[in-house]
Amino acid sequence: MMKTVGILLAGGLSRRFGSPKAFAELAGSTFYERVYEALDAACDQVVIVSRKELLERFSQHLDVIVDLPEVRGQGPLAGIYSAMMLRPAERYIVLPCDMPFIGVDETLALIKLAGEAKGIAAVMTPNEKIPLFSIWNGDYSAELKDAIDAGSLGVFGFLDNIQMEWIDAHSINKELEVFRNVNSRID
């Protein structure tokens, strides 16, 4: 059976949001708790990738890491790379903390729809591609490190150069609002 590690990205600077998004609350839970739950139901292990100054704020029983020193502060690709290097697996499910409406059902549906894809499978709506709600089969750590070393830190730029499959969000959930990235406070 294929080992699956969930990568919860929770290290962004949250400039537009005004405070770390991981700890914002929605319906009595923090964003990171909601995303963790969505990943935990589908993965053998979940690792949270964050920043050193936020480590104490996460529950102590969780597996929380920071980017490796050679890629620290280089964005989501660095977080994915660090998780791959520190938590080896055959498959990774990536989900950022600022997508708290994605739940267990959506994560399990993505796994089913991605099947045995050889590259990376991510979600797209009619209006946008959502590269960080994705499944990464295999180890792309060498390619990620090369991109980071070259200063190519954009997720889309990276995905343009590898085997990629886009999955229609409607096949996961007809309510496309669940796929939104939260960049401002929710009242």
Structural domain boundaries in the chain = 4-179
pTM for the structure as a whole? 0.94
- Lowest-pLDDT choice from 10-14, 58-62, 93-97, 165-169: 10-14
| C-alpha–C-alpha distance, residues 149 and 127, integer Å | 31
Whether 138 shows a pLDDT value over 60: the answer reads yes
What are the strands, taking DSSP E only, across the chain?
Answer: 4-9, 25-26, 29-30, 45-50, 64-66, 91-96, 120-124, 129-137, 164-168
| C-alpha–C-alpha distance, residues 85 and 179, integer Å | 28
The number of residues making up the chain comes to: 187
Helix axis angle for 141-149 and 76-86, nearest 10°, is 140
Interval 91-117 mean pLDDT: 93
Whether 18 shows a pLDDT value over 70: the answer reads no
User: What average pLDDT does the structure give for the chain?
Assistant: 90
Which pLDDT belongs to residue 19? 60
| C-alpha–C-alpha distance, residues 14 and 167, integer Å | 27
Categorize the per-residue pLDDT at 80 as very low, low, confident or very high, splitting at 50, 70 and 90.
very high
Token representation of residue 179? 């796929």
- Partners of residue 47 on adjacent β-strands: 7
| C-alpha–C-alpha distance, residues 122 and 104, integer Å | 16
What are the strands, taking DSSP E only, across 17-72?
Answer: 25-26, 29-30, 45-50, 64-66
CB-CB contact of 53 with 12 (8 Å): no
Categorize the per-residue pLDDT at 137 as very low, low, confident or very high, splitting at 50, 70 and 90.
confident
Query: 4-179: CATH homologous superfamily?
Result: Spore Coat Polysaccharide Biosynthesis Protein SpsA; Chain A (3.90.550.10)
Which pLDDT belongs to residue 14? 54
Is the model more confident about 16 or about 9?
A: 9
| C-alpha–C-alpha distance, residues 67 and 52, integer Å | 9
